[in-house]
Each structure stands twice: as C-alpha cells, then as structure tokens.
Amino acid sequence: MNINKQRITLEEKDNKLIVNAYRRLLRHSKSLVSQSDVNNIKKAFRISLEAHKEMRRKSGEPFILHPISVAQICVQEIGLGATSIIAALLHDVVEDTDLTLKFIEKKFGFNVARICDGLTKISGVFTPGSSMQSENFKKMLLTLVDDMRVILIKLADRLHNMRTLESMSRKGQLKISSETIYVYSPLAHRLGLYSIKSELDDLYLKYTDKRSFNYISNKLRDTKYSRDKFIKSFIRPINKKLKHLDLKFKILGRPKSIFSINNKIKNQDISFEDIYDLFAIRIILDVNFEEEKTVCWQAYSVVTDFYHPNSDRLKDWISTPKANGYESLHTTVMSGVGKWVEVQIRSKRMDDIAEKGFAAHWKYKEKLKGDSRFDDWISSIRDLVSQKNYSPQEFLDDFRGNLYNEEIFVFTPNGDLKTLPINSTVLDFAYSIHSEIGSKCTGAIIDKVLVPLTKILKSGDQVNVITSTKQKPSEDWINKAVTSKAKSSIKSSLIGQRKNLSTQGKDLIKRKFKKLKLKFDENISQVANYFHYRSVIEFYYDIAKGIFNLKKIREYLNSIEKLKIKEEKLIVENKSKKVINKKTSNSLILFDGNNQTLDYSMSSCCNPIPGDDIFGFVTINEGIKVHRTNCSNSPELLSKYAYRVIKAEWFTKINNNLLSSLLINGTDRIGVLDDITKIISSQLKVNMKSISINMKHGIFEGKIELFVSDTLQLFKLMEKLQKIKNVIGIKRID
C-alpha cells in the first residue's frame, strides 16, 4: 500500500514538473507564433511525451523535460520561432524511439524533418581511430548549409546538457565538457551567441577545474558589494548627462565570465585582485537604425567628458563589425579612483545581435541590406563540407581552426572590404575573391610595393593581386594559407593534379587490404591517420610514388591488436586477481575502479600530482598516460578520443613524491634567494630538484623544480613563498 502511494506521489510530482515546463514554453513563445503554430507545437509535445514516456534522464527526472528545456532555450535565449520549437521538442525521437523521419515529415512537413535529421546522430559501430564526434558534426553541418536552425537547436541542446551535467558519470562529464570547449563554444562565438558561449565556457571550467571555478565564483560573490558601489558611482555623471541630452538608454554593469577571468589569471600571471576589467559598463541606446552611429559616438563623447580614455584601447566595431555580426564601440577609461574601466556603447539592435547572434541578425536583415557576413560564412562552410577527401578528424580541425580567430579588415583595389582571420596572407585574400584568382596568384602590390603571396596582411591594407596563367598551387601552399576556404581550394587543386597517381595508389593498397582480409572502406581513414597523413589522397599518392612501403601496414595491425588488449585489460574486471593492499602498494593511481596494477606514467605536458583531478589516456605505444583534467591538451584528447579515456583516481594513502614546477618573480634584495631556499628545504622539508634565478634591472625571475606529495603541500608552500618580502608573484607551471 505504501509503495503504491509513493508511486502515485512520484507520478503526480513528474506530471506537475512537465505541465509547468510546457506552460512556461507556451507563455514565452506566445509573441513569436500564430494560433496554427500553437496547435502544431501542442501536437509535437504530445508525440514527444508519448514517445519518451518510459524514459528517464540520468538525474532521474522524466526525459520529456529535456526536449521542453531545449525548446525553451530556443525561444527565450536565442529567439527562434515555431519550426525550431517543434524540431526541438522532437529532436531525440528518431534517435531514441521507433518514430521515423518519414512520420515527422508527414505530420509537420519537410523543414522540421530535415532539421531533426541534422540533429540525429549517425548510428553504427565506430572503430578505434575514427571519431563519432567528427562524423556527427560533419553530418550536422551538411544540414546547416541549408538551414541554420540545425546548429542553433544543437547549441541549445548542448547548453541544457551542460546545465544538467551533475548527474553524469565523471568520464561522461569530462567527455561532454571537452567536446563543448573544443567545438561548441567556438561555434557559439562564431555565431555571435555571446551569452550562450560564456555560459558554456563557465560550465566547462566547473567540471574540469572545480577548484579554480569555486575560487573565482567566491571572489566575485565576496566583492559584489564594493563592485556595485563603484559602478553606481562611476555611471552617475554619465547617466545625468545622457538624460540631459534627452536620450533613451539603460546602463548595465556586467561581470566578465569566470572562464575569461581564470584565463587572465593564468595567462597574465596575475592575481584576482590585479584584474582591472572584472566587469564592463554597457550603455544601450534606444535609437532609430539610421541614427545609431551618430548617437553611439555622442555617448562616447559624454563618457570621455568625465573620464580620460586609453587611446590604444578604442575598438570601433560599429564602422567595421566583426564577421559574426558583432557591433559595438569599446573604450577603456581611467576612473576617478585610479581604476581602468571598459565601457561598451551600442544600440538596442546591436545588443540584441550581441546576445542572440545569428537569430537576431536574421530578424534585422531587412534593415541590413547588403550585409552578407553570415551568407559568406555559410558559403565557406558549404565549400568545406563539399570536400569529399577530408578525413573526419581533418574536417573538424580545419573547421574549428577558423572559428576563434581574431580578424583583420583589408580592401580590394576598388575599395571593397574583406574580413579575414588574423595572420592571413596574400594567398588567403586572393582565394577570398575567387578560387581561380587564388590558384593563379603569384604575389600582390600593397602601398605600391611588390610583395610575395606569403606576405602576412594587416588591417587597412589595400591589396592588388597579381596572377599568372602559368601559376598553379603547390604542396607548400597549404601551410601558407590560414582560411579554410583557401586550404580546401588548394587541396582540391592538388587532388586534381595528382588524381591519376592517387588512383594507382588506391588500387595498390586495396589489393594489400584484400590479402590481409581487411575491409577497405572501414579501415582506410584510420590507417592514413595512424601514419600521420592529413588525407587519404596524400596517402594514395605516396603509395604510388613508392614513398610509403605497404609492408608497414603490419605495424598498424599490430598497434590495433595491442590497443585492444590494453582496453580489454582496463575495462573487463579480472575478478580472479588478488586485491592489492592500498596501504602497501607502490602504485599511486586506481584506474576504472579496479584494484589491478597497471603500467602508467605521468604526462609531461601537465605533471599531475596527488590532489589534481585526473584521467587516464591509453596511448598506442606508451601505455597509459595520466593527465590533469585542466591540462591544455585535455579538450582535444577527451573530445576526439573518448573511447581511449579511462577513469583515474589517487589512492588515499601514498608515500610517493612527484615533480612539480613553480615560477617565481619579484624585486631584488640581498638574501631573497636564501629566504626562498630556507622555506623550501628547512621549514617545509621539501626536496628541490633544481632552482634557477635570473636577475636583471633589479627584477628577479626564476623556476623551481621540487618534489611534493600532493596539491595541499604545494599550495601551502606557495602561500609561504608569497609572504617573503619582495616576492611579487608565484604560480604553478606545467
């Protein structure tokens, strides 16, 4: 009887959660949809509810809450309409239930079915060396070139997964977080979805470096009162003057993301207290489209009437918007209390685009006639996905490489503006005009000076490309180009040039595979990747030229066999093994919850020590490598090769000491080095491997390598060293 009552209570609780979430979705979408749209949304909800009725998420909540939440993000945080809401509600049904795309097309039309198809993962078995993530991402982008809503819904899906990551296993948290920072955060950046991008970044940090995340979160909370007081004082005169000018506006003080603050602390070797731009003042002007620029500069004039600007930090993205549509006027000014403050000035339309990116940009498209930034970007994606000879890994790396780059603005001889990634060359510029011009480029004239095609361009250059009918792309051009459009066009040309030889090479390796009883289509990409070829075409070419000896295929087969043995050893728990006494074991690390002794080594790229959050990575030739979860290489390893990642944790009782490194700097004084060594060796009894200190112009900087038992001992040592007179900074380095 009690069990039945508990079941009824649980069902009632679930139903209440579902109804509340669904009603909230309808309430927020009311202004974006028609009555017929509402009927279709209700129908999609009922179908999704029925399809997922027996399913629950890892957290234990009903699965239907996930698609409702994704639809809610699409509406409230991105601003999408009815088609996207319906697709979001149905985005998991094809993958997880018996419903088909044909059924969805029949009920809701071609567009909804196409979007759902783009969001459905590729099924099938993926062998070691291939990347399911890369394959699924490429499939999604193939649909993106026809309908941008695919990628926007996918970002909403990823955001909700990150918000609910707490209930996932540790391995799942690391994999999903790393995929997010490696692919989805840069993509959100490229689409101008700054709010979503910032939250994805912060959540990545939360699950990969919780100590840093909590430290900065607590610091932001503790300093909120004084920060708010400062902001109120800073904006008071600006507020008064803007009102006097009869302008409609609002002023906000917004803190920077935890992720970006953490990056500043690490990259600039400064403390939290030393970061001057913890927040930015944002002035949002409610003004007609035609008057935006004038009024924004008027507001800039008001700000600089009260505070002195830093001329080196003026950024005008109103006259030349970023490639992702971002428009704003940024300046950094000196406040009355000796603090630098960043001020962002923009219109309501610009702010809408800055927060909601492409979706908002589309809303204002009529006003932005002639603005083809997103069309150009989608065109470049279309060019990229049309390349049939890319391996999935190569495709993902090339696509990702152009998402985050800083931009430069250069001009054609006719004065047309071209936006390119920083470090772009004359070659990239030529290909941005047309692939034919790029393939015949021999150099250019800039400021009446003849320059080679490898010349790196800077903002403001006016480039006149020189071409020759005798010119054709060569192998080294790929390394000279930066943009994915140039790289893919060069590869296409090279492929055409070597097509005959590649065909011969392909026939040769097909015959070799047949002798070895190896399936060609399933293994050729992995073999090419194993031998470090960037594409299978290059692999075929080297085979035909005799550069690659086909006997080496045995080496690949042996490595796969070794990897399988290692994985089986790690994954399948051998119950017949005796449990090792943790107190007496020389091993520091427990893998996958097993008590087996396994060969491993600490990765030299991040030097983990007990107390660090870690994972194991099964390499092909060097056994298990142990990495810190916040290692600079972990996002790529965890997102591309998740099948080779194993859970790792430190034993609770250990006696081993591991090598760690510190960077220390300060101002010179007699005895400072003696004080440093006394604290390390005498007070804390820590063994040093080496210490090197350089003195120059009254400043010292040095590196200390020492053996510590865990992070607690290391941080205690750092605290002591920081208190030494004349020591300014100390930090752990990889």
Give the domain ranges of the chain. 10-208, 221-363, 387-497, 589-650, 658-733
**pLDDT bucket at 144, cuts 50 / 70 / 90:** low
Pick the CATH number of 387-497 from 3.30.950.10, 3.10.20.30, 2.40.33.10, 3.40.190.10: 3.10.20.30
Catalytic (active site) residue 95: yes
pLDDT, residue 575, reads 38
Interatomic CA distance for residues 88 and 94, integer angstroms: 12
pLDDT, residue 731, reads 82
Q: Which of 11, 50, 95, 228 is catalytic?
A: 95
* Per-residue tokens: 564: 């399988």
Query: What digits encode the pLDDT tens for the residues 520-532?
Result: 877 788 788 788 7
Rg of the chain, C-alpha, whole Å: 29
Q: Which of 292-306, 321-335, 341-355 has the highest mean pLDDT?
A: 292-306
Query: What digits encode the pLDDT tens for the residues 183-227?
Result: 888 888 878 788 899 999 999 999 999 989 999 999 999 988 988
Cβ atoms within 10 Å of 106's Cβ, excluding its own: 10
Catalytic (active site) residue 201: no
- Find the mean pLDDT for residues 78-88: 90
3-state secondary structure 186-201: HHHHHCCCHHHHHHHH
Q: Which helix (H) or strand (E) holds 634?
A: helix 634-640
* Per-residue tokens: 158: 């990823």
- Ranking 60-64, 587-591, 705-709, 728-732 by mean pLDDT, the lowest is 587-591
Asked if 221-363 and 387-497 have one fold, the answer is: no
pLDDT, residue 396, reads 65
Percent of the chain with pLDDT over 90: 27
Higher-pLDDT residue of 707, 237: 237
pLDDT, residue 576, reads 40
Report whether CATH 3.30.460.10 matches the domain 221-363: yes
β-bridge partners, 692: 703
**pLDDT bucket at 142, cuts 50 / 70 / 90:** low
Say which residue the tokens 């295929």 belong to.
553
User: Residue 132: pLDDT above 70?
Assistant: no
**How is 369-424 classified by DSSP, letter by letter?**
TT--HHHHHHHHHHHHHT-TTB-HHHHHHHHHHTTS--EEEEE-TT--EEEEETT-
Give the contacts of 337 (CB within 8 A, at least 6 positions apart).
230
User: Residue 411: pLDDT above 80?
Assistant: yes
Q: Which of 11, 12, 50, 96 is catalytic?
A: 96
**pLDDT bucket at 130, cuts 50 / 70 / 90:** very low
Averaged pLDDT of the chain: 82
pLDDT, residue 365, reads 58
User: Residue 89: pLDDT above 90?
Assistant: yes
The CATH code of the domain at 658-733 is 3.30.70.260
Higher-pLDDT residue of 611, 38: 38
User: Residue 725: pLDDT above 50?
Assistant: yes
Interatomic CA distance for residues 444 and 467, integer angstroms: 8
Query: What digits encode the pLDDT tens for the residues 636-693?
Result: 888 777 778 888 888 755 556 778 888 888 888 888 888 888 888 776 677 788 888 8
The letter for the amino acid at 472 is K
The CATH code of the domain at 10-208 is 1.10.3210.10
